[in-house]
Structure 1
Amino acid sequence: MLLDAIVLTLVGAVAALLPFSAAYRSRLTRRLARQAGTTVPADQVDALEARMARRAWGVGGGVALAGLLLLGWALLGPGRGEDSTGSYLVLSAMFVFGAGGLAVVEILRPGPPVDGPRTARATSPGLADYLPPLVRVLVPLFIALGLVVLLTALALSWSPWFDADTIWRSPLPLLAAAIPVLSLLSVLAVRAVLAAPQPARGEVDLFWQDLVRASTLSSVVFPPALVAVFALIVCGSVLDDAASVAAQAQGQVGPGWSLWLLIAGYVVPPLLAFGALAATLRWGGNEMQHTRSRLWGGRMVGTAARAGRA
């Protein structure tokens, strides 16, 4: 795990340093424009690049912190080099701390930069104006499912059919503690983003603020659910290992039903994730389309004017 921790630290450091590159910031902004289905007006580029860079810094800083913590554990804590779930621990730490870093950035800096005279928005849109209904239903559903499965897996450590040490030395305790924390950070980030004022120079400025806000809310709402889906995969593998270790300790061959736990862990979560994604795209649309429909009547503000000038 020492090598994994070093690689994770380097990946996080690189991810945190990349936003200092103008080319990388421009790439992030172009990706946002592709999601919106239009181009970014020239007067919006700097503000959007600054916002996207802060998000990248948050994720990269969180991943680097996860790498440093794992590095310290690998050097000073109990050895994990032979643990079959060590790679799951590294991935769990990367997902959890990356998502947490993004949420913290949005809690601390939720609003757009204000660099001149602007007017404030008269209305206060809510989460329903930025995220499709299906997303707002599926995210808490997946979080609840992940927590139930994790707590059940931890409870099985007291049964004679599963080895307790295998379960408690796995990523399951980390994930069981991380999902509620990430969910809380997500709620705080959503509140901070929605409560932030939207001072705008005009309609185009406000339109792009709405699109960025929709993208931001999506990026802080989804991670706890994704971590919960990942936890389902980890549960299947860990319980399979724990059942085999317990059987071998009793002088038996690993039970056949533990194989089904492993298969279910690898097959069911991706099916749930892909099914939810397909249903969201089919009936709910993405957050950009939903925001344009709810707040702008489906219009692409500023696009026609630029086409006319050209």
Structure 2
Amino acid sequence: MDAVVVILATLALAGFGIRLVYSARAVPRRRMLHAYSRQVGLALAPEIVAELSTRIYRRERAGIVGSMVGLFVGVTALVVTDGNENPWNGLLVVVAMTVGSTVALIGDDSRSAFAPVAETPRLARNISPGLADYVTPLDRTFSLGLLGLATLGYIAVLGVIAINPERAFDDVSVRTILWPAGLLLALATAASLTTWAAANALLAHGQPAATYTQLAWSDAFRSTTLRSLVGIPGIIAAVSSCVLFLSLSEAMTLPVPGSIGEILVGSFTIMGPVLVVVLVSWSVTSLRNRSTTHFLRRLWPETALELDRRRRTPGAADPGGHPGGQPGDPGGQKDGQPDDRPDQDSRTKTPA
């Protein structure tokens, strides 16, 4: 099994390496930029396209490298601890890759936030945005809810094993089964505290910008980073429950039909896949629904209204193209004149 895991990990690393080299080319970088523009609902201003392309590539590179590091750490942990004997523990590798990628993105975003500011006039907000301006309440609640459910589920399973109905767990190595899920649950709890501290540290630093367009795009990048950050505890917690239920289901011998043991096996078998489906559905929905433009509706409401109007208008161009006239402004343009100042009344220009 060790050889199979190592081979699969090597192939995955090779794939990441190819993607890393491919994303450095001009055409893929342009495609990534246009895709991200459509995702966050901001137009591509010609004067900052080069800067945005560089930043998009830097984030892509950070995410890939972080995933590679997480893959290496996860596979190493499985091989060292013999966790690769249970195929469901491969979800640990997925968690490691997700955490590694998100940590790398946080590092990249922090690099921009902590970068020295040139002695030139820059924009400032009257009120500093908070986490609620970048992350939807549903995303935050869902992540913490998964952590709470995973904790309750783990406690419930411990209670069932302690009672041991009909001696269903006599032949189960409980310690071997429970420690991976318990470790993941502990990591999820620690992650909830760490991500809260990291988010506050990131929000405590401003986003230097000379134009409203730059400020809006900085909000987009920060929103993406923070949404990934708050989701980490929920992802780890869901995988913890999945590993726990599926491992117990496979470890128990076939019980007597109609017994409590059979009911337990059935519930354990069902709960694992259900959690995976819920987690995947949540991830896909979070990427496709309004959570990607939540920051726009909170910080740039006029731009969000313009985006909604264009989306409702048949044949309207997408944000990455030429919305409302000429290209290059986050909220569209009128009469061919550039207007990179959405919601100008709520922002003031101050010296650096």
Query: Is TM > 0.5 for Structure 1 vs Structure 2?
Result: yes
Contact 1:111–1:193 (8 Å) recurs in 2: no
Per-residue CA deviations over 1:269-291 (Å, capped at 9, x if unaligned) read 52476479769988xx3241x32
Q: Of 130, 139, 163, which aligns to 2:173? A: 163
Q: Does 1:30 align with 2:43?
A: no
Matched positions, count:
300
Matched ranges for 1:192-271 at <5 A: 192-244=201-253, 255=262, 257-268=264-275, 270-271=277-278
Greater helix content: 1
Residue 259 of structure 1 aligns with an amino acid whose one-letter code is G
**TM-score (ref. length: structure 1):** 0.76
Tell me how far 1:265 sits from its aligned partner: 1.7
How far apart, in 2, do the equivalents of 1:67 and 1:276 lie?
A: 20
Contact 2:123–2:211 (8 Å) recurs in 1: no
Tell me how far 1:94 sits from its aligned partner: 2.4
Contact 2:105–2:225 (8 Å) recurs in 1: no
Q: Of 45, 49, 60, which aligns to 1:41? A: 45
Q: Of 103, 126, 139, which aligns to 2:143? A: 139
What secondary structure is seen at the aligned counterpart in 1 of 2:252? helix
Contact 2:92–2:239 (8 Å) recurs in 1: no
1:21 alignment counterpart: 25
**Measured at CA, do residues 21 and 206 of structure 1 come closer, stay the same or move farther in structure 2, by a change above 3 Å?**
same
What secondary structure is seen at the aligned counterpart in 2 of 1:286? helix
Contact 2:252–2:265 (8 Å) recurs in 1: yes
Query: Bigger radius of gyration, 1 or 2?
Result: 2
Tell me how far 1:69 sits from its aligned partner: 3.0
**Measured at CA, do residues 268 and 34 of structure 1 come closer, stay the same or move farther in structure 2, by a change above 3 Å?**
same
Tell me how far 1:9 sits from its aligned partner: 3.3
**Runs of 5+ unmatched residues, structure 1:** 248-253
Contact 1:100–1:185 (8 Å) recurs in 2: no
Tell me how far 1:210 sits from its aligned partner: 2.1
Tell me how far 1:238 sits from its aligned partner: 1.4
Contact 1:96–1:182 (8 Å) recurs in 2: no
Residue 100 of structure 2 aligns with an amino acid whose one-letter code is F
How far apart, in 2, do the equivalents of 1:164 and 1:110 lie?
A: 47
Residue 49 of structure 2 aligns with an amino acid whose one-letter code is V
**Runs of 5+ unmatched residues, structure 2:** 256-260, 307-328, 339-352
**Measured at CA, do residues 154 and 119 of structure 1 come closer, stay the same or move farther in structure 2, by a change above 3 Å?**
farther
1:89 alignment counterpart: 92
1:190 alignment counterpart: 199
**Measured at CA, do residues 293 and 270 of structure 1 come closer, stay the same or move farther in structure 2, by a change above 3 Å?**
same
Q: Pairwise CA RMSD of aligned residues? A: 3.8
**TM-score (ref. length: structure 2):** 0.69
Q: Percent identity?
A: 24
